[in-house]
Structure 1
Amino acid sequence: MTRITVCYFAESLERLEHFRQQEIESIAEIWRIEKGYGPKELCTFLESPADSTIALMKFHSAALLKFVASRAVLLHSVCEQIVIARSMNLMLRKLSKMQSVLENLGMGVGRRFKLHIHASGFSFTAEEKRRLYEVLGLALPHVGIVDLVTPETEFWVFFEGKRSEHDGPQLSIQRICFTKLLYNSARQSLLARYSLKTRPHIGTTSLPPELSFLLANIGLIRSSALVYDCFCGTGSTLVSAGHFGAICLGSDRDARTMRGRPSPKRKQTEKKYPKPRSIDLAFQGPKSIVGNMDYYDLQKRSVDFMRLSVESCKDLWRTSRGGLFDAIVTDPPYGIREGAKRVDRVKCSEMSLHRMNINTAGDQCPLSSIPFVQYSTAELESDLLNFAASSLRLHGRIVFWHPTAIGVADYFPTHPCLQLLYKSTHNINVRFSRDLLVFEKICEPSHAEKATDQTDKWVAFMMNFKRRELPSTDPMQKDSVRDVYFATPTWRSG
């Protein structure tokens, strides 16, 4: 495909501009794996997509372009470039010499077409848009029929610029792109179908569909891939993985979240502050992670869901050399909405065996009999990378969120067998953010190769950050993200 393509990205409330290029490149990699191509450059960004809602790209083929549009959740539409100019008059002069080209593209005799106008970096007033439509309608060399309801072809005109408030609002146009629509992305259909408002079972940390499908694309989740989420919760990431045809397996320490049995404290909160939701009343399945998979007709894509802590994963999944999972996509708890805890193995060894004989229903031993201790972020991520290095297949990916503070140097563990591919920041509020870390397995680990221990650096980083911002507070423990986050309400953007 030789022509330049204009990618129109959706403006997200989650502010995911820095993830656009990662998603497109990852979807192209999925297409390369499914087609069996060798390593090659399938798509090229001619400019950064994080700076504007439109970006110029080149794709290897039209089939790849269609595949990207069918999966991308941050993409609005894909268009074919016709004319690029720096002013309206220059664009119209170029189009006046391309009557035969425009007729072949969809403005010929008897052809129905529609025209869209989009502004990037500013917004048009209703009067300005009306005048632009009048000018374009009179100046375009077409013999077709304008049809706003059932058009055969759609054309987009993208304006990039900004408004200057000095001496009155003046509009400065930097670039105008006249394009033809090729494909609309699957964004609208995915967000509408998998909305949390209609999902039977959600929790306090359920990922919205925009983020869960973004993680699925970056994690190279594809048909028949075995995907594991060791902090599955209500199953948001596994629902997205199942939509793309993956085989899903999940586990979580909190069995009540998976089964849809909230804690007594959460029941009181939901009763006191009920949230209106548009749940499908015709659905008679359970309000649990299994019910979520059944609601979207993905029960054939789920293997099992079990109660398991992440530090015990390496003991359960005794994988042979070569790995078991194609991808590990998860959203670990870091203490803001849900606390991070692990089983205290020292106390467990001191307890009698009959008290630890727990069946799958959890009836023989109450939850209070299992000793838990605080699980620091550094320890959790180190265990997660060690597990990924031993259980992932070669070139498999692990994708997870890492909490940090805005504008402060951060530390996160690494592993000699895992290569860091992407590290992009998603701001939570004015003080805190989280980085999406994407690692790829590049070699098989030996018994001596472990993840780097960043516990001491993590504790020092958080303690110094808290002393600088909150000098009157008490010394911090290892798992300090929650303490710092809720230290003062002025840090919260809401």
Structure 2
Amino acid sequence: MPGYLLVFAQSHSEFRLPELQSVAELLGFALSIPTDCDPSRPFMTLELQSEEQARLLAGRCILIKSIYALYAQGGNYEELHAANGANIHLWSSYANDTSFKFIVTGYNHKIPEARQRDVVEGFDYMRFMGKIDLKNPEIILGCFEEYDSSAGQAITRHDRDSQFRQVYFGRLVVEGSARALIKMFDIKKRLYYGNTSMESEISLLMANQALASPSKLIYDPFCGTGSMAYPIAYFGAQFFGSDIDGRQMRGKGGKDQPPGVLRAAEQYGVADRIVDLCTFDVTHNPWRCGSLFDTIVTDPPYGVRAGAKRLGRKKEIDEARKAVNLEQQLSARHKHEPYIPPTKPYELSLLASDLVILARYLLKPGGRLVFFLPTVNEHYEAVDIQTMLCDGMVLVANSLQDFGSWGRRLVTIRKATEGSYPPPSFSEERNLGQHTPGHRDFREQYFRGFKKE
């Protein structure tokens, strides 16, 4: 199969492979990822069956900047030109009368203009006779030099020039069009958002992990201000959201106005794909049958900007107080006043385990659970994720967004069983085992500065 060069955006390197594999699965074709692939590098060589597959990937993957048909690569220009000469069948059809443009660029290094000209002239053996057109060329030829980071090194840019790790050469097939969605869903331009709203690039990456597409029904049990609703609905899926605090979804609009989430959905033209927004505690949910949703995707609250809550009281009250409380409820109903039930904190490790069990009950076979899990980097171990899994649920991807002493992991889990399971009980009297995961009591660790007590 022909080779292609994927040029990635310089962000979220750990999310590149999971997104690429998820989008390929969504589009219906398999990818053969090289075993020695390093996702932290900005370039990846990949075999695809056709240029059409490259265009499909670039039209959906948020982290792809462009895809080139790969003509050659090497550790130096001698190797590159030798490989390019051997692949004359790939580019000879463009040599006679095709207008072209040539670009030379470096990663982690700015190549001097004089040497850029020397690099271009080094390809004179290709005998391209077409017009050089910098504005509207028929093809664009690109040469990419990959340099290691110079951070912390006492080295000048002049000394560093030409000391690249690898050089690639190819023809542009397609520019990544999906990255334009980052600006489209920019929170600053949104009609309704809150202090817990997720940045647009991350929400789009989660939507790709969720395999959002037409005919899918996707659920967010911690909907909040609806950050996940908009990209999921934009990709054609039907969205259902819930939250224990309905004020987050409604916003401060008047009674005659639609909820804030729906107002923002109208801004993006996807309000008709928001099935409903409901207020309830996920541990006291109304679902009476399972296998409802294709995907559950969410960013659970973990206590930094907003804490996770569940119904209940922090301290038990005596029978006399219960009677008074019941009388208050009945009085509020009689006067048609809203009754706000008491809530208590929902510890993160319990929430994460409950979420996996709930997903096993609510997901269709093969469905995915996609969620963020904050962890203390120093305390994190791979077993932290494994201990959350239950029978029938398997790990698909685990990618870290690093913030230094802590990070949040985008975890993707698939329901790998067709068996039916009873609704989860969400009992608080559970034995989570002897292992203490890096995300247990995350809120307390965060405000303690991740220092020992």
TM-score normalised by the chain length of structure 2: 0.85
Residues 291-336 of structure 1: per-residue CA shift (max 9 Å, x gap) = 11100000111111111222123xx11125xx01000000000001
- Return the alpha-carbon distance in structure 2 between the equivalents of residues 447 and 394 of structure 1: 15
Alpha-carbon shift at residue 290 of structure 1 (Å): 0.7
Query: For 1:303, what is the secondary structure of its paired residue?
Result: strand
**Aligned to 2:358, what secondary structure does the other structure show?**
helix
CA contact (8 A) 1:326 1:392 kept: yes
Shift of 1:451: 9.2
1:245 match: 236
Q: Are the counterparts in 2 of residues 99 and 142 from structure 1 also a CA contact under 8 Å?
A: no
Determine the structure 1 residue equivalent to 2:187: 196
SS in 2 for 1:236: coil
In the alignment, does 2:135 pair up with 1:136? no
Deviations 1:401-428 (A, max 9, x none): 111111323434221121111122211x
Aligned to 2:337: 364
Q: Does the CA contact (< 8 Å) of 2:24 and 2:31 recur in 1?
A: yes
Q: Is the 8 A contact 1:6 1:80 kept in 2?
A: yes
One-letter amino acid of the structure 2 residue matched with residue 339 of structure 1: G
* Residues 212 and 240, structure 1, Cα contact 8 Å, conserved in 2: yes
User: Do 2:445 and 2:451's aligned partners in 1 also have CA atoms closer than 8 Å?
Assistant: no
Which of 48, 52, 55 is residue 37 of structure 2 equivalent to? 48
Cα separation, 2, equivalents of 1:24 and 1:455: 34
Q: Could you say if the C-alpha distance between residues 356 and 438 of structure 1 is closer, same or farther in structure 2, counting changes exceeding 3 Å? A: farther
User: Does the C-alpha gap of structure 1 residues 455 and 11 become closer, same or farther in structure 2, counting only changes over 3 Å?
Assistant: same
Corresponding residue for 2:446?
485
CA distance in 1, matches of 2:259, 2:288: 32
Query: What is the alpha-carbon distance in structure 2 between the residues aligned to residue 357 and residue 153 of structure 1?
Result: 75
Pairing 1:295-314 to 2, within 5 Å after superposition: 295-313=267-285
What are the superposed Cα offsets for residues 242-298 of structure 1, whole Å, 9 maximum, x if unpaired?
111000100111212111239xxxxxxxxxxxxxxxxxxxxxx86711111100000
1:146 aligns with 2:145: no
Q: SS at the partner of 1:162?
A: coil
* CA distance in 2 between partners of 1:319 and 1:188 (Å): 38
1:294 corresponds to: 266
State the alpha-carbon separation in 2 of the partners of residues 440 and 489 from structure 1: 32
Which one of the candidate residues 41, 57, 62 is aligned to 1:68?
Answer: 57
| Deviates further, 440-449 or 296-305 | 440-449
Listed as ranges, the matches of 1:151-300 within 5 Å are: 151-162=137-148, 169-171=159-161, 172-261=163-252, 288-300=260-272
Of 1, 16, 23 in structure 1, the residue corresponding to residue 19 of structure 2 is 23
1:441 and 2:440 aligned: no
Amino acid aligned to 1:352: L
Q: 2-side partners of 1:123 and 1:376: how far apart? A: 46
Q: Secondary structure at the match of 2:186?
A: coil
Q: Tell me: CA distance 1:205–1:58, structure 2 relative to 1, closer, same or farther (3 Å).
A: same
**Aligned residue type for 2:337:** Q
Using the TM superposition, name which of 293-302 and 399-408 deviates more. 399-408
Q: Does 1:317 align with 2:287?
A: yes
Instruction: Note the C-alpha offset of 1:8.
Output: 0.7
Q: Which whole-Å CA distance do the structure 1 matches of 2:68 and 2:322 have between them? A: 62
CA spacing shift, 1:182–1:162, aligned 2, 3 Å:
same
Task: For 1:358 and 1:20, locate their aligned partners in 2 and report how far apart those are by CA, in whole Å.
Answer: 52
What residue is the counterpart of 1:474 in the other structure? none
1:52 is displaced (CA, Å) by 0.8
| Alpha-carbon distance in 2 for matches of 1:49, 1:243 | 31
Identity %: 25
Q: Kindly tell me: are residues 333 and 358 of structure 1, through their superposed partners in 2, closer, same or farther at Cα, counting changes over 3 Å?
A: farther
After superposition, residues 333-344 of structure 1 pair within 5 angstroms as 333-344=301-312
Give the conservation status (yes or no) of the 8 Å contact 2:210–2:296.
yes
2:209 counterpart letter in structure 1: I
- Alignment check: 8 A CA contact 2:73 2:79 kept: no
Structure 2 gaps, min length 5: none
**Is 2:81 the counterpart of 1:85?**
no
Partner SS state of residue 188, structure 2? coil
Query: Partners of 1:4 and 1:19 in 2: how far apart?
Result: 22
Q: Cα–Cα, structure 1 residues 461 and 244, in superposed 2: closer, same or farther, change >3 Å?
A: closer
Instruction: Report if aligned partners of 1:7, 1:57 keep a CA contact under 8 Å in 2.
Output: yes
Partners of 1:18 and 1:434 in 2: CA distance = 12
What residue identity is the alignment partner of 1:415?
A: C
Q: Indicate yes or no: 2:348 matched with 1:377.
A: yes
CA deviation map 1:90-124 (0-9, x unaligned): 434555677775352x4432x2222222323x211
Counterpart of 1:145 in 2: which secondary structure?
A: coil
In 1, Cα distance between equivalents of 2:424 and 2:221: 22
For residue 420 of structure 1, what is the aligned residue in structure 2? 395
CA separation of 1:129/1:162 partners in 2, compared to 1, >3 Å: closer, same or farther? farther
Uncovered stretches (5+) of structure 1, i.e. residues with no partner: 33-39, 263-284, 466-477
Cα RMSD (Å) of the superposition?
Answer: 3.3
Deviation at 1:461, TM superposition (A): 5.3
Shift of residue 45 of structure 1?
3.4
Instruction: Give the Å deviation of 1:352.
Output: 2.3
Letter of the 1:20 counterpart: R
Change (3 A) 1:176 1:255: same
Query: Which residue identity does 1:6 align to in structure 2?
Result: L
Q: Which amino acid aligns with 2:393?
A: L
Code of the aligned partner of 1:382: S
Q: CA deviation at 1:354?
A: 7.2
CA-CA distance at 1:489 after TM superposition: 10
Task: Tell me, yes or no, if the aligned pair for 2:361 and 2:423 is still in contact at 8 Å.
Answer: no
